Amino acid sequence: MSPSNQESTYGDSTSQYDPKNSNGDYVMFKCLPPESGKLNRWSQALTRGHDYPGAQAMLYGAGVPNEDMMKNAPHVGIATVWWEGNPCNMHLLDFGKIVKKAVEKENMLGWQFNTVGVSDAITMGGEGMRFSLQTRELIADSIESVTMAQHHDGNISIPGCDKNMPGCVIAGGGGGYQAARHNRPFIMIYGGTIRKGHSNTLGKSINISTCYEAAGAYTYGRLHAARPQTTKAANGGPDIETPSPSQVLADIEQHACPGAGACGGMYTANTMATAIEAMGLSLPGSSSYPATSPEKARECERSAKAIKVLMRKDVRPRDIMTRAAFENALVLTMVLGGSTNGVLHFLAMANTADVPLTLDDVDRTSSRVPLLADLAPSGRYYMEDLYAVGGTPSVLKMLVARGLIDGTVLTVTGRTLGENVEGWPSLDPGQKIIRDLDDPIKKTGHLRVLRGNLAPGGAVAKITGKEGLGFTGRARVFDKEHQLDEALSAGTTIKATDGNLVLVVRYEGPKGGPGMPEQLRASAAIMGAGLANVALVTDGRYSGASHGFIVGHVVPEAAAGGPIALVRDGDVVTIDAVRNRIDAVSVSDEEMAERRKGWKEPELRPKRGTMAKYARLVGDASSGAVTDQW
C-alpha cells in the first residue's frame, strides 16, 4: 500500500480511544481498531502521513530502515531488567538482543530499553535492602512510561530478580504494573534460575540461602566440614587437615552462585515466575528453564512470533489476568511451597488489573490446597531439579488433570493453559520432588493468614509443619532489624536454653522501614544456629529463602500505631496456624488501651529522596503495598 493510501486509512476518523482501556483510571491513547488488520495500532499515530515529522526523523535516526517499515511496522518494546553485579540480572541484556533479532525477523521494529533493580541477596541485612520493594514500583513506572510515551504496540519484558516480575506485569497486566497499566499486548520472559552450587567442604549442593544459614552456624560454633578430623597420611606423608569453620564459610561464599540466574530454590523469584506462568503471561516452560539452558535462548526467539499472535488477536494482559488466572497462581504457589512475598505481589497485581483479591482468598486457597513440593528452602531440591523431571508445565499438566488448576484460562500463546501443557511430558515416574496428592508433605498450604490482637488487619505466616503448627513464647522486642542482627551476631544474647522466644521486629513495615525490608539474615542465622526455641514476628518481610516459624506483613504496622508497637518484653505471644491466630495472650484489652496512651507516633525518616516519597505514598501490606491507590 502506498503512503498516500495509508494516510487515509490511518486518519483520525478511524482512530479511537482504546475501548479496552477507556475507564479513565490510566492515561488514554487513541489507536486503530483491531478490525483494521494493522498491527501498528498505537505507533501509527506518530508514523502516519506527516503529522509528526520530527518524530519520524528521530525514528529514522534510531534505525528505522525505510519508509515502508516506518508506515507499516509495529513497534515492540523490549524491556530488560538488566544490570551488572547481580547473577539474577547480568545476562538479561543478551536475552534482549536475541528477542530484538527475532522481532526484526517478523518484520517488526524492536526497541530495547532498560529499567532498574536491586539485588536482594547483596543488600540483605543492610540499609540497601530498604530500596528493594520500591523497585517494583520504579520498574512498573518506567516501563509504563516508555511504552506509552513511545506509542509501542506491544511489550516483551525480561525480568530476573524478585521484584522485577511483579514490576513488569503490573504496568501491563500480570506480574507487574507495566502490563496492566498500559494494557498493550505483553509477554514476560523469566531470566531463568541459577544452576546449583557445590561445596567441597560440606560435600553437598548449596545455594545463596546456605550462606546465611552457615553464618548463623558459624557464630554459634556449629559450622564444620563434612570430612573427619585430622587424618594421618600413609607412608609418612603430610597429615590431611580438616578445613576450619572460616575456611568452610569461605568455600560456601565462593561456590554458592556458579553463574547467571535467579536464586535456585522456591524463593521469591521462582515463586513469581511459576505463578505468572500459571496465570498465562509467559510461554510454557519459562519459569523452569535454567538461565544458561539452550531452551531459555529458544524461548527468547519464540517470543517474537507469540507477541505477533497476541497483536493480531488483540489479546491484552487484562484479558489474561482474570480471577481464574489469579486462582491458578495461588494454587501453584501453595503446591510448590512458594514465598510469603508472593502474597504481597498477587495483591498488588490484582489491584492494578481491577481483579478483587484479598487475604481471605489466599487463606481459602491455602485451606484447600496441599503442599506437594520438596523444594528449598524447607525441602531438599531446587528448580534445576524440577526442570530435569519435566518442569513447571509438567506440574501444571498434573494439576489440570486433577482439577486443581483451571486449564481453560487464556495465555500468551493465544491458546488455553490446558492446551499448552496437553502435549508436555508428564512428571517423570519415580521422581521425588513433587509428591502425589494422596501423599502430601502437608495436607493444607504452608502460607497462613493470621489475625488476632497483634494483627487485626492480617499477617502472613510461612509454616510448613516441620516446626509444628503452633508456638507460644515470651516476646523479646527489637525496634529495628539491625538490633536483632546484632543480638544474633553476639552469639550469647539469644540462646537455645532461654525457653521459647517470640522475637518481634517492628518499625520495618512499608512506611516505618521505610521499604519493608526482607529479614533473611536473621531468619537464616536462627536456622543455622539451631535455635528451635525461636519464632519470628515482624511488620516487615521475609525472604523467599526464609523458613522456620516466621510471621510477617503484620498490619497495621508499628509506624501506623498497630498493636505490634505496644508489645513489651515478656508478653506471652501465641501463634496458632490451625485457628489462624496471633495474639499477645497475656495482655488484656484494657492493658493494650493503657499502653496506647503512652505511645507516640515516630517521626518518619528520611524526609527527602526516593524512600521519603515511597513512605508517603505506600499502602499497607494487606493491600499489596501499592503506591497508586488513593
- Model pLDDT for residues 230-280, shown as the tens digit of each residue: 556 666 666 667 899 999 999 999 999 999 999 999 999 999 999 999 999
Q: Which one of 199, 543, 622, 623 is the catalytic residue?
A: 543
Q: Are the C-beta atoms of 142 and 109 separated by less than 8 Å?
A: no
Alpha helices in 161-293 (DSSP H): 164-170, 178-182, 208-219, 245-255, 268-279
Strand partners, 290: 193
Cα gap 528→497, rounded to integer Å: 16
Residue 8 is a catalytic residue: no
What the block records as the C-alpha cell of 625 is 503495598
pLDDT at position 269 is: 97
- Please report the pLDDT score of residue 283 as a whole number: 98
Closest CA to 585 of 479, 471, 483, 430: 471
Q: How far apart (Å, rounded) are the C-alpha atoms in residues 183 and 317?
A: 6
pLDDT given for residue 23 in this prediction:
63
Who contacts 182 (Cβ-Cβ below 8 Å, separation ≥6)? 21, 26, 143, 144, 147, 148, 152, 155, 171, 172
Which segments of the chain have a pLDDT < 50?
1-13, 173-179
Nearest to 25 by CA among 354, 386, 448, 349: 354
Report how far residue 456's alpha carbon sits from residue 535's, in angstroms, rounded to the nearest whole number.
Answer: 19
Note the pLDDT of residue 162: 92
| Tally of residues, the chain | 630
- Evaluated on CA atoms 97, 103, 107, 109, the torsion sign reads negative
First to last CA, the chain: 47
Give the per-residue pLDDT at 177: 38
Question: What pLDDT score was predicted for residue 7?
Answer: 37
Spacing of C-alpha 210 from chain mean position: 20
pTM: 0.93
Alpha-helical segments (H) within 288-322: 294-313, 317-320
Reading the block at residue 445, the C-alpha cell is 498450604
Q: What pLDDT score does 173 carry?
A: 47
Confidence at residue 451, expressed as pLDDT on a 0 to 100 scale: 98
